[in-house]
Amino acid sequence: MTNFADRLNAAILAKQSQVCVGLDPRLEKLPPSLVDRYRAEPRKGCGCGRHEIGECFNEFGAAIIDAVAPAAVAIKLQLACFEQYGPPGIKAFKHLGKRAAKAGLIVIADAKRGDIGISAAAYSAAFIGRPQGLDGRIDGFNVDALTVNPLFGSDGIQPFMDDCREYDAGIFVLVKTSNPGSAELQDLEVEAMRAENVETSEVSASSGPSASSGENPRKLYEKVASLVDRWGADMIGESGYSSVGAVIGATHPEILAALRQQLPATPFLLPGYGAQGAGAADVADAFDSQGLGALITASRSIIYAGDGEDFAARAADAAEKMRDELWQAGRRK
Amino acid sequence: MTNFADRLNAAILAKQSQVCVGLDPRLEKLPPSLVDRYRAEPRKGCGCGRHEIGECFNEFGAAIIDAVAPAAVAIKLQLACFEQYGPPGIKAFKHLGKRAAKAGLIVIADAKRGDIGISAAAYSAAFIGRPQGLDGRIDGFNVDALTVNPLFGSDGIQPFMDDCREYDAGIFVLVKTSNPGSAELQDLEVEAMRAENVETSEVSASSGPSASSGENPRKLYEKVASLVDRWGADMIGESGYSSVGAVIGATHPEILAALRQQLPATPFLLPGYGAQGAGAADVADAFDSQGLGALITASRSIIYAGDGEDFAARAADAAEKMRDELWQAGRRK
């Protein structure tokens, strides 16, 4: 194993791609002919169809994974889509994570988990660590990286960082989400009044040129960004990036450019491309001169590019087009 | 069905109890004689023991549920403990939720979920709504209430509120968590500068006497509290409480008292009692004159009160003792 950021960057350079395909299966958006086949099957269990939906997600997801693997660097699996179908849904999540890893893709669990103490440690074990088994540690979902929620503060993030170190995994911390309502709390002006906040400002200021560090007050997402910088400081790999990344909505290009200045060693995970409205020009500032520094996520515009029998081929085409647009936008900088 | 807050309050009055037992099974804390039996079983699946751990959690949890049902009002299931064992873990979570409901307990999924748009809707469907099935809506986990993370803002909370209305469920929004690191972000001084924040202040100020509303700047958790007040305003039941509750660490008694003033119609879910250090006197301010207004959560001090063959009886005793301490503390006010 190698440091997560180094593995990610090696994959980006090898494929000349910053594409992360969001695999967020929704029954009502899947190709009708595919769903109809599972609708016609005799139902297992209580007859509610959960097992058949899990199988349907497996078939759909596997076809998407194989189709986009040449053009994409990573797959991001949205846990909510799977969790709503209970154990069969979680089984499909696990199956598709393994399938994507076999296809050579970096696997990101978009679970946005966060808790405190032993609960945070249990979430970490579930996704990137190794849970306690009957006779020692056993495998969890074993994904490459997990999205996490920073609201609990440093002691809520610590268990995830410990597992990142031990298992060469990564986390992407929510810094500024892509939804309109993100402004309500994340854009609040905050004043760094506590001693530990002042200390954080210094760490942030020393890590590179910044549009905002040192200024008070600043916004909550900038404060979270300074924590991300601090959390990731001793997990920087040979490629110059840390295994502690940041989630930033591609729908906020100006914020993205400022955060790139504030966080020169942080890999970004940028949702909002495609269906949510952001284009290649909006994310170009996230890349360094080599094209490293960010994964751009698209879900609907890739996985639902077609809803006929050729849905996988259409997804492959959409992923390839996205790769080319992004790689060229990065080079035009 | 009835409004969630009304169901909760009816149960509190009927049992004269504000006890919520946190069912957070951890293999290394379970009675050794119980775990040993599952260790000795021939293993299903890959042999990793996940299925046997799920069965072990089922046996332990069912015994705890039956033992504490007379003294407790609610069971809070910590998702992280179950999620780390994959599909068999989720199966145990689901099984124990149903078991607790059958035992007449209010079932709270402590999942601290949060996301945006269709992902938030999917989490809501998973726990308190009804997911899309092959031929219409199907059952999800169908718990009474879910803990949720407010970082995404109002549009991230909306899908949960919609399901609260449609299915008479509840949510408990994280306002101030019980861990030491909660100060790092949640205690930041924020300035209400945007137009919508000013509007929020007005809503908050009009809802009752407040230690802080109207003052600027105030802390992030107070800002979240004012949002909770607004989100819950049109879901207040006949008992005078809303189905939108707040999670506040019982480890912060002064903050708790101030938030009780700020949020007179919000049911509180208070972790931190027992093993985390808070006692009955620390939470007394959370109750109104009838003893309503708050569920106090204890996990380790109840479910691990004994680790021998009599663990269930010891848990029953601990829950009964906690009920009496709390009910008397509430009456001494």
- pLDDT for the residue B212: 45
β-bridge pairing A132-133 and A136-137: antiparallel
How far is the CA of B28 from the CAs of B57, B111, B272, in angstroms?
12, 21, 21
The residue assigned the tokens 């705890």 is B64
Q: In this predicted structure, which of A195-209, B190-204, B209-223, B237-251 has the lowest mean pLDDT?
A: A195-209
Computed over every residue of chain B, the mean pLDDT equals 92
- pLDDT for the residue B191: 79
What would the mean pLDDT of B115-127 be, rounded to a whole number?
97
DSSP string of A87-147, one letter each residue = HHHHHHHHHHHHHHHHTT-EEEEEEEE---HHHHHHHHHHHTS--EETTEE------SEEE
Q: For residue B194, is pLDDT > 50? A: no
What is the SS3 assignment for B54?
Answer: helix
Computed over every residue of chain A, the mean pLDDT equals 92
Tell me which of B204 and A113 has the higher pLDDT: A113
- Residues from chain A that touch B190, judged by Cβ atoms under 8 A, are 188-191, 220
Radius of gyration, alpha carbons of chain B: 20
- Residues from chain A that touch B224, judged by Cβ atoms under 8 A, are 185
Q: In this predicted structure, which of A112-126, A186-200, B173-187 has the lowest mean pLDDT?
A: A186-200
What is the SS3 assignment for B309?
Answer: coil
Q: For residue B83, is pLDDT > 70? A: yes
Q: For residue A196, is pLDDT > 90? A: no
User: Backbone dihedral region of B136: left (phi > 0), alpha (psi from -120 to 50 degrees) or beta?
Assistant: left
β-bridge pairing B268-270 and B145-148: unpaired
Contact A35 B140 (CB under 8 A): no
Handedness of CA B33, B39, B42, B46 (dihedral sign): positive
Whether residue A122 lies within 8 A of chain B, CB to CB, comes out as: yes
The whole-angstrom separation of Cα A108 and Cα A89 is 17
Angle between helix B86-102 and B50-68 (nearest 10):
20
What is the SS3 assignment for A219?
Answer: strand
Whether residue A208 lies within 8 A of chain B, CB to CB, comes out as: no
Q: For residue A219, is pLDDT > 90? A: yes
| Cβ-nearest to A151 among B35, B134, B149 | B149
The CA distance from A73 to the nearest CA of chain B, in Å, is 23
Contact assessment for residue B109 and residue B144, using Cβ atoms and an 8 Å cutoff: no
3-state SS of chain A: helix, strand, coil percent to 5?
A: 50, 15, 35
The whole-angstrom separation of Cα B121 and Cα B118 is 5
Q: For residue B261, is pLDDT > 80? A: yes
Q: Which of B112, B176, B223, B321 is catalytic?
A: B112
Q: Where are the alpha helices (DSSP H) in B233-293?
A: 253-262, 280-283
Domains of chain B: 4-331 (3.20.20.70)
- Residues from chain B that touch A80, judged by Cβ atoms under 8 A, are 113, 115, 119-120, 122-123, 126
The whole-angstrom separation of Cα B245 and Cα B153 is 16
The CA distance from B93 to the nearest CA of chain A, in Å, is 10
Which residue of chain A has the CA closest to B271?
A116
Within 10 Å of residue A1's Cβ, how many Cβ atoms?
8
Q: Which residues pair with B108 in a beta bridge?
A: B76, B145
pLDDT in tens, B308-320: 999 999 999 999 9
- What does residue B104 show for φ and ψ, rounded to 5 degrees? 80, 15
Q: At residue B126, what is the residue type?
A: A
Q: For residue A30, is pLDDT > 50? A: yes
pLDDT in tens, A220-238: 999 999 999 999 999 999 9
pLDDT in tens, A139-177: 999 999 999 999 999 999 999 999 999 999 999 999 999
The whole-angstrom separation of Cα B163 and Cα B272 is 28
**Count of alpha carbons within 13 Å of A124, Cβ hemisphere only?**
27
β-bridge pairing B218-219 and B145-148: unpaired
Contact assessment for residue A219 and residue A176, using Cβ atoms and an 8 Å cutoff: no
| Structure tokens belonging to residue B133 | 């099935």
pLDDT in tens, A243-295: 999 999 999 999 999 999 999 999 999 998 887 788 898 899 999 999 999 99
What is the SS3 assignment for B291?
Answer: coil
- pLDDT for the residue A202: 40
Radius of gyration, alpha carbons of chain A: 20
| Cβ-nearest to A180 among B119, B135, B155 | B155
| Structure tokens belonging to residue A35 | 């769903």
pLDDT in tens, B278-307: 889 889 999 999 999 999 999 999 999 999
Among B residues 266-305, those touching chain A with beta carbons less than 8 Å apart:
none
3-state SS of chain B: helix, strand, coil percent to 5?
A: 50, 15, 35
Local structure of residue A48 (DSSP, 8 states) = S
Work out how many CB contacts closer than 8 A connect A with B. 243
Residue A16: band (very low, low, confident or very high) from pLDDT cuts 50, 70, 90: very high
Residue B193: band (very low, low, confident or very high) from pLDDT cuts 50, 70, 90: very low
Within 10 Å of residue A21's Cβ, how many Cβ atoms?
29
Contact assessment for residue B298 and residue B251, using Cβ atoms and an 8 Å cutoff: no
The whole-angstrom separation of Cα A327 and Cα B29 is 51
Tell me which of A122 and A212 has the higher pLDDT: A122
Q: Is B98 a catalytic residue?
A: no
Q: What is the three-state SS of A27-64?
A: HHHCCHHHHHHHHCCCCCCCCCCHHHHHHHHHHHHHHH
The whole-angstrom separation of Cα A122 and Cα A191 is 33
Q: For residue A125, is pLDDT > 50? A: yes
- Residues from chain A that touch B122, judged by Cβ atoms under 8 A, are 26, 78, 80-81, 83-84
The CA distance from A162 to the nearest CA of chain B, in Å, is 16
Is the pTM here over 0.90, yes or no? yes
Whether residue A42 lies within 8 A of chain B, CB to CB, comes out as: no
